[in-house]
Every structure is written in C-alpha cells, then in structure tokens.
A = this chain, B = another copy of it.
C-alpha cells in the first residue's frame, strides 16, 4: 500500500474533525493490499483472516467514509450488493467491462471516450462530475473454444454471476 493513501485519509479525517482508530487503519491496509474489487462481506472476511476484529457495522461505516474521502468508489455489478473499487486513485477515469458469461470485470481507460462524454454532457447543458461506462459483453474465448477458465473458476467459487442473485 502506498503511504500516500494513508496520508490522504489522515488529511480527510483531520479536516472533518474525526479520529484515527485502529479499525480504520486495518481496513485501509487490507483494502489497499490488493487492487481487487470487494463487497463489504468479502472485506469483512479478509479482515478476519488478517486478524482484525472490526465488526460488520464498522466495515460499513468505514466504507462510507472512504467513499466520501474519494479513496474508493462504489460500483454496481448487478448482484444486489455494492462492490467497491480501490483503483480510482491510480486510474480516476477508468470504466468497467463485465463478462456476461463469467462475471469477470475488466477495467479500461480511453481518452477519446472521456472527451466524448465531456462533450455530450456540456451539449445537454450540464457540467461533468463523474461518468462511468459499463459494458456488458460476452467472452470470445468461451464462444470459440467452448470454455473459459474464468467461468470455471467462478463456478468453483460459487461466485454470483451478473444480473443474478444467489
């Protein structure tokens, strides 16, 4: 984890008159130990594995805090719970492609897209704040080869596929 992230959170906490706590430290550390997306529940599990005893309530409250501090973003993958993305610090304008077959999420950036979004927004009489392109797409590999390693993994893990609950 980048020390810069801790610094940003500290700045935010100071500005708001909030307090540093061990739970917030642990949560921050666990989140930014990887660049993977996570649900509140997954984060809770990671914390337990890491020895942290932070409660679910604290996890939820801290996620809200981190979103306000702009350190993470919530994204909707369509499975009934909010997924959080820690990669907006390094890639502030990235978008998501979601595989309809296996649920794999691919992040990508494109400056032409950003420019176009900006133009469209202004043309409609608004000032751009944030934009997110969400592409749902089918895996060419699955189609051509009849199987896709991601899908097999997803099934093994009992992962919830897009637009599907349970």
From 103 to 149 in chain A, residues with beta carbon under 8 angstroms from any chain B beta carbon are 106, 108, 110, 112-113, 116-117, 120-121, 124-141, 143
Write out, one digit per residue, whether chain A residues 43-77 have a CB within 8 A of any chain B CB (1) or not (0). Answer: 00000000000000000000000000000000010
Q: Are A131 and B126 in contact (CB under 8 A)?
A: no
A154 interfacial contact with B, CB 8 Å: no
Q: Which residue of B lies closest to A113 (CB)?
A: B116
Identical copies in the complex: 2
B-side contacts of A129, CB under 8 Å: 100, 136-138
- Could you tell me how many residues of chain A have their Cβ less than 8 Å away from some Cβ of chain B? 33
Q: Is the CB of A121 within 8 A of B137?
A: yes
Q: Which residues of chain B come closer than 8 Å to A120, judged between CB atoms?
A: 97, 108, 110, 113, 135
> CA separation between A143 and B129, bound complex, in Å?
13
A99 contacts the other chain (CB 8 A) = yes
Residues of A within 8 A of B (CB): 76, 78, 97, 99-100, 106, 108, 110, 112-113, 116-117, 120-121, 124-141, 143
